[in-house]
């Protein structure tokens, strides 16, 4: 009943946000910019409260999960299954984006190429950020120079790398390490308790994020980009069908129970455009659903670095959309090559703010597509990000539940024997 109350409160906040934003945009347009900046602070407060506890939660749960596994062959087995799922899901997501953008052709005949966009400065900032996108950047982003620096900047991938090494070392200590494992276990319980308090600020965060976006851009932006939004929404819908179907094949009818369990994280991710903001709540809900805590604590942080299905689909979709705007012809071979390049480059900037846009700019430059075309999708990006973030959460929840199911089947024969 308490969970339903929070869910209803978020829905109400979502509606109020749209109404308030619309009133300001259409009746007090001169004040829309300042209103948007100020009201978005509510969303900022919520997201920062969540970010405050992500690093200790990832570290404690992952270390405890690995240490409790004991058998390092299990760590390797679960890791291999997770990466197999992530790579397969990434390939499917990228392919769906490629197929849908070629079918709908949302960038053809838009006339956007002849217009001047208010987001040109933002596009310039993104162009600057891509200069450092390289193998060196990927290594630096993956391996922490200092764990304290990784904690300070909430670098989830770096925290995961350190936690894996720490957890493996801790598991080899035997009895000596039990007290440390127990300590981290208790800390993670405290942090999860904090999650229940922080989540009650989610409706305010949703209100601020939605009201700010609508006040700034207005509802008319949906008409301007109608074809683009319909094509992208169709891609997300198809990706959801594929993910849920695969989930159904693995965990059966429990997939519907899983969807019900993660309804709040899905809605919060949709409203705040942040899949990171729901990480702590997702950990809690997956455990409540019945997933093994050690599987959740190991697989979910990896998923947040390597399994962003909604963002992956958007990469091919947006890149080809920009090519269509500038009438840049891309052969099937070029598009397949782009897909393979995105498979690699997208993994290098996991966790970076607006990572999808940075990768799109870099990819466009690589394939002789004018990268400044990113300015044409920035006005609508916030609304696309709502769908991307929600899909990222769905993909990570399904992957964790599926891997947990695989491990349950694996352990049963050994228990019998």
Can you tell me the mean pLDDT for 350-363? 68
Q: Coil, strand or helix: which one is 406?
A: helix
C-beta of residue 361 within 8 angstroms of C-beta of residue 127: yes
- Note the pLDDT of residue 89: 94
Task: Note whether 229 and 381 are within 8 A (CB).
Answer: no
Q: CA torsion 291→302→339→114, rounded to 10°?
A: 100
Give dist(CA 282, CA 271) in Å, integer: 15
More confident site: 35 or 277? 35
Angle at 343 between CA 229 and CA 62, to 5 degrees: 100
Determine which of 83-97, 143-157, 402-416 has the lowest per-residue pLDDT on average.
Answer: 402-416
Q: Are 267 and 11 in contact (CB under 8 A)?
A: yes
Q: How many domains does the chain have?
A: 1
Domain of 91 in residue numbering reads as: 2-416
- Tell me what pLDDT residue 356 has: 75
User: What band does 417 get if pLDDT is binned at 50, 70 and 90?
Assistant: very low
Tens digits of per-residue pLDDT, 242-287? Answer: 999 999 999 999 999 999 999 999 999 998 888 878 889 999 999 9
What dihedral angle (degrees, nearest 10) is formed by the CA atoms of 136, 137, 139, 140? Answer: 110
CATH number of the domain bearing residue 100: 1.10.3860.10
Extract the tokens encoding 298.
């190991």
Least confident of 25-34, 38-47, 111-120, 210-219: 111-120
């Amino acid at each position: 009943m308490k969970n339903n109350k929070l869910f209803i409160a978020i829905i109400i906040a979502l509606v109020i946000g749209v109404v308030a934003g619309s009133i300001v945009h259409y009746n007090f347009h001169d004040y829309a910019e300042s209103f948007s900046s100020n009201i978005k602070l509510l969303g900022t407060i919520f997201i920062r409260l969540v970010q405050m506890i992500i690093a200790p939660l990832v570290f404690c749960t992952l270390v405890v999960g690995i240490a409790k596994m004991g058998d390092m062959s299990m760590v390797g087995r679960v890791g291999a299954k997770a990466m197999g799922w992530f790579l397969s899901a990434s390939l499917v997501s990228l392919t769906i984006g490629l197929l849908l953008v070629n079918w709908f052709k949302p960038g053809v005949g838009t006339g956007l190429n002849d217009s001047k966009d208010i987001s040109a400065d933002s596009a310039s900032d993104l162009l600057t950020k891509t200069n450092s996108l390289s193998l060196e950047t990927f290594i630096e982003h993956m391996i922490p120079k200092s764990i304290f620096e990784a904690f300070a900047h909430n670098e989830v991938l770096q925290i995961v790398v350190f936690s894996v090494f720490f957890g493996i070392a801790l598991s080899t200590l035997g009895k000596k390490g039990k007290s440390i494992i127990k300590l981290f276990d208790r800390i993670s319980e405290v942090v999860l308790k904090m999650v229940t308090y922080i989540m009650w600020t989610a409706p305010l965060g949703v209100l601020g994020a939605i009201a700010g976006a609508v006040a700034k851009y207005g509802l008319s932006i949906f008409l301007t980009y109608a074809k683009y939004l319909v094509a992208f929404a169709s891609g997300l819908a198809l990706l959801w069908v594929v993910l849920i179907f695969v989930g159904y094949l693995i965990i059966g009818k429990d997939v519907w129970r899983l969807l019900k369990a993660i309804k709040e994280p899905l809605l919060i991710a949709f409203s705040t455009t942040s899949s990171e903001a729901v990480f702590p709540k997702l950990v809690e809900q997956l455990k409540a659903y019945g997933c093994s805590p050690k599987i959740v604590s190991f697989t979910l942080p990896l998923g947040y670095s390597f399994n962003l299905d909604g963002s992956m689909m958007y990469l091919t979709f947006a890149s080809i959309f920009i090519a269509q705007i500038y009438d840049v012809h891309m052969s099937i071979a070029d598009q397949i090559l782009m897909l393979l390049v995105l498979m690699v480059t997208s993994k290098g900037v996991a966790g970076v703010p607006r990572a999808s846009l940075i990768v799109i700019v870099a990819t466009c430059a690589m394939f002789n597509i004018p990268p400044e075309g990113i300015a044409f999708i920035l006005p609508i990006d916030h609304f696309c990000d709502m769908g991307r973030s929600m899909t990222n959460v769905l993909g990570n929840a399904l992957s964790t539940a599926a891997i947990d199911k695989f491990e349950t089947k694996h352990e049963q024969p050994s228990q019998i024997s």
